Amino acid sequence: MERESFEALVARAIDNLPPEFQARLENVDIVVEDWPTRRQLRQARLDHPGQLLGLYEGVPQTRRGRGYGLVLPDKISIFQRPIEAQCRFGHEIEARIEEVVRHEIAHHFGLDEKTLRRIEDEKRRRK
């Protein structure tokens, strides 16, 4: 898939967030990268670049105190090639992007990986 098309799907995923979440996205930059770097893989405690679909790097809103300010934006990276490698069809790519964007934004709002995995597992079981 062309980068522009992939980026448009990421933008759509952000636009599809509930308004109350869109309004509270503060000091965060969402970018598309081809693959994670070695540093990002180490940070996520993963070995293979195909395992990492997205990554939140920053200070979650729940941990920002009074002194938080004048800092670089948090960064959410969405990794195009690993997402494409895990999906067979175009509609699967769009659905996976939605899932990854929501997952990483949840980290921005303070949810940890264990809690997110439990929520995602419960959601899958209901389907």
The dotted CATH code for 3-126 is: 3.30.2010.20
Residue showing tokens 């098309």 = 5
The model carries a pTM of 0.88
pLDDT at 84: 97
Domain ranges, ordered by start, for the chain: 3-126
Share of the chain above pLDDT 90, in %: 62
pLDDT at 3: 96
The order of strands in the sheet holding 28-33 is: 28-33, 74-79, 54-57
* Residue range 91-109: mean pLDDT, rounded: 94
Distance between the two ends of the chain, CA-based, in angstroms?
28
Q: How many residues does the chain have?
A: 127
Does residue 9 have a pLDDT over 90? yes
